[in-house]
């Protein structure tokens, strides 16, 4: 137990020490991008059910945006294979989605979702109605004491209850949580074809992970995937910031996001907007909104690809506002 702890600590120390930072710099060709339309089929995801809402379902919005994103990516990056997890309204469990990403040896995993919050309930008076109110009283004393009931009609207000759309708006980007690195490590280690080709284009080798050196390497990969995920997430956020809608930044969800941990590649999840917000829900359902989001994500991926493949010259490029 104690010994194991020392080994793990040592491995972590090795993986996170600056000495190994060179491993984060190696050029890496982006060959395959997985686009996951969140939810689907019997899993509708969040629902725009509030007064004045469109009653739309997250699974339909994510599918529309993903389909546009896939088209845009194929156009902007013709040398890249773009693999959608789904192109129709079908149900997939999170492990199925992760398996598609891992089996296709994705270099990036992009999950499309829409945000929602618990909604407050409002009420309004829509009229009044009569209710019979009974009151109990007693007459007499001692053994003659008698219980009496008096009834009377009272006018009471009639209320209608409704959900109030949330004020939150905007797009946020999520990466796998730092404390979930072990899960990411498992995803890397469970993948038979672990990409070890540092600086080379495509060397997929089978690795024996019982060897501590290989385990160390896997830890370095988990850390590198996290660094790359953060980089891509901030590029997406930068592109969103060029639009009229709020860019809410990049975040790590404390609870963790299963698909992000289970994929053997850098992975981000984009909460495209709040389905429970009046304006955002309309934006997310509009062709214009969906296309704008797809453009933003495509431009971010394009910049990320350039940065990864030519680390130095494009490290400080400005946001590209032209269409991809």
Nearer to Zn ion, 15 or 100 (CB): 100
- Position of tokens 């699974």? 59
Nearest Cα neighbor of 47 from 281, 287, 286 is 281
Nearest Cα neighbor of 34 from 86, 85, 77, 93 is 85
> Among 113, 224, 245, 303, which residue sits at the site for Zn ion (rule: CB under 5 A)?
113
Query: How far is 267 from 225, CA to CA, in rounded Å?
Result: 8
Residue by residue, what is the 3-state secondary structure of 165-191? CCCCCCEEEEECCHHHHHHHHHHHHHC
- Cα 232–Cα 235–Cα 238 angle in degrees, nearest 5: 155
Regarding 48 and contact with Zn ion (CB under 5 A), the answer is no
Regarding 324 and contact with Zn ion (CB under 5 A), the answer is no
Instruction: Name the minimum Å distance from CB 58 to Zn ion.
Output: 5
Instruction: Name the minimum Å distance from CB 217 to Zn ion.
Output: 33
Residues comprising the chain, all counted: 324
> Among 15, 36, 40, 45, which residue sits at the site for Zn ion (rule: CB under 5 A)?
45
Regarding 273 and contact with Zn ion (CB under 5 A), the answer is no
Judge residue 162's burial from the number of C-beta atoms within 10 Å of its C-beta, 0-12 exposed, 13-18 middle, 19 or more buried.
middle
Nearer to Zn ion, 45 or 266 (CB): 45
Instruction: Name the minimum Å distance from CB 195 to Zn ion.
Output: 29
Regarding 97 and contact with Zn ion (CB under 5 A), the answer is no
Nearer to Zn ion, 28 or 68 (CB): 68
Instruction: Name the minimum Å distance from CB 45 to Zn ion.
Output: 4
Contact flags string 3-42 toward Zn ion, x per CB under 5 A:
-----------------------------------x----
Regarding 59 and contact with Zn ion (CB under 5 A), the answer is no
Nearest Cα neighbor of 236 from 305, 185, 169, 287 is 305
Q: Which residues bind Zn ion (CB under 5 A)?
A: 38, 45, 113
């Amino acid at each position: 137990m104690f010994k194991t702890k020392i080994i793990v600590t040592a491995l972590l120390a090795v993986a996170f020490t600056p000495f190994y930072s060179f491993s984060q710099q190696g050029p890496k060709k982006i060959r395959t991008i997985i686009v996951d339309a969140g939810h689907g089929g019997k899993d509708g995801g969040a629902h725009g059910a509030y007064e004045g809402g469109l009653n739309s379902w997250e699974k339909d919005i994510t599918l529309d945006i993903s389909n546009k994103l896939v088209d845009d990516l194929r156009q902007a990056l013709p040398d890249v294979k773009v693999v959608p997890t789904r192109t129709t309204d079908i149900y997939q469990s999170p492990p199925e989605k992760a398996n598609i990403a891992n089996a296709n040896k994705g270099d990036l995993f992009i999950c499309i979702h829409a945000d929602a919050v618990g909604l407050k309930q409002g009420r309004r008076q829509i009229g009044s109605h009569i209710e019979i109110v009974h009151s109990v009283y007693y007459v007499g004393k001692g053994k003659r004491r008698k219980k009496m009931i008096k009834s009377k009609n009272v006018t009471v207000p009639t209320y209608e209850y409704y959900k109030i759309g949330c004020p939150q708006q905007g797009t946020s980007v999520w990466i796998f949580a730092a404390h979930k690195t072990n899960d990411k490590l498992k995803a890397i280690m469970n993948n038979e074809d672990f990409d070890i080709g540092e600086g080379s284009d495509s060397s997929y080798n089978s690795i024996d992970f019982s060897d501590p050196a290989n385990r160390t390497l896997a830890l370095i990969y988990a850390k590198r995937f996290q660094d790359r995920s953060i980089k891509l997430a901030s590029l997406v956020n930068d592109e969103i910031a060029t639009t009229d809608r709020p860019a809410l930044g990049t975040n790590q969800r404390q609870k963790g996001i299963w698909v992000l941990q289970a994929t053997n590649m850098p992975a981000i999840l984009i909460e495209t907007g709040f389905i429970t917000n009046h304006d955002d829900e309309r934006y997310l359902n509009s062709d214009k909104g969906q296309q704008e989001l797809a453009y933003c994500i495509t431009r971010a991926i394009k910049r990320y690809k350039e940065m990864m493949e030519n680390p130095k010259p494009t490290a400080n490029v400005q946001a590209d506002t032209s269409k991809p």
